[in-house]
């Protein structure tokens, strides 16, 4: 239990530091400071300690053990940088849990989150292609709003092909400055 406590605390702290560093580079200061604070809530922290592995999210082990992850359900419902947060009822089709377009500032934070998670869990095996590979290996396109997926894929391809400096420059000086018609950006 003690190993899980300190291991999880270190993992969350390192992850948050990496996201904060990335967010600051692209001008998202408040998001960098507040990223993943819900991971310190009892609903997320204690399962993180119990299911700590050090090589992947404790939510994976919790899901494998009890069939779902209450910690993940808590987390995704409170953190707008997760595409799973951005689902809603579509009145015109009468469908539930339909992906909606994410505001750019949360897409940018999601990119920082994915880079940080890959660095934390892959350690020395991390490359600039890691977040791109994770997207294409794990996340079904149908779970994203088409525009959000295109934006994420473009940014992670840029990271893979040209590196972090090019990605940060694009996010800060182009992507986050584009005019938008959507509320919340």
Helix axis angle, 104-122 to 2-25, nearest 10°:
140
DSSP class per residue in 9-43: HHHHHHHHHHHHHHHHHTT-HHHHHHTTGGGGSHH
How high is the pLDDT of residue 183? 47
Q: Residue with structure tokens 């967010």?
A: 23
Give the number of other Cβ atoms within 10 Å of residue 29's Cβ: 11
Residue 184 has pLDDT above 60, yes or no: no
How high is the pLDDT of residue 57? 95
Q: What is the mean pLDDT of residues 138-165?
A: 96
pTM: 0.94
> What pLDDT, in 10s, does the model give residues 57-81?
999 999 999 999 999 999 999 999 9
Give the number of other Cβ atoms within 10 Å of residue 138's Cβ: 7
Confidence band for 139, pLDDT divided at 50, 70 and 90 = confident
Per the prediction, the chain carries an average pLDDT of 95
Q: Bridge-partner residues for 99, per DSSP?
A: 87
Give the number of other Cβ atoms within 10 Å of residue 2's Cβ: 7
How high is the pLDDT of residue 182? 53
Q: What is the mean pLDDT of residues 150-167?
A: 98
């Amino acid at each position: 239990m003690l190993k899980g406590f300190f291991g999880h605390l270190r993992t969350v702290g390192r992850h948050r530091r990496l996201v904060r560093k990335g967010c600051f580079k692209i001008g998202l200061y408040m998001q960098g400071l507040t990223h993943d604070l819900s991971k310190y809530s009892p609903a997320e922290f204690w399962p993180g300690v119990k299911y700590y592995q050090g090589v992947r999210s404790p939510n994976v082990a919790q899901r494998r053990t009890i069939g779902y992850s209450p910690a993940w359900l808590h987390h995704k419902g409170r953190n707008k940088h997760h595409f799973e947060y951005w689902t809603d009822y579509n009145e015109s089709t009468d469908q539930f849990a339909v992906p909606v377009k994410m505001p750019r500032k949360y897409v940018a934070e999601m990119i920082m989150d994915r880079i940080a998670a890959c660095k934390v869990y892959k350690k020395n095996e991390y490359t600039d292609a890691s977040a791109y590979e994770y997207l294409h290996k794990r996340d079904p396109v149908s779970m994203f709003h088409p525009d959000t997926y295109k934006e994420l894929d473009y940014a992670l391809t840029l990271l893979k092909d040209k590196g972090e400096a090019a990605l940060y420059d694009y996010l800060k000086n182009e992507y986050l400055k584009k005019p938008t018609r959507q509320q919340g950006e």
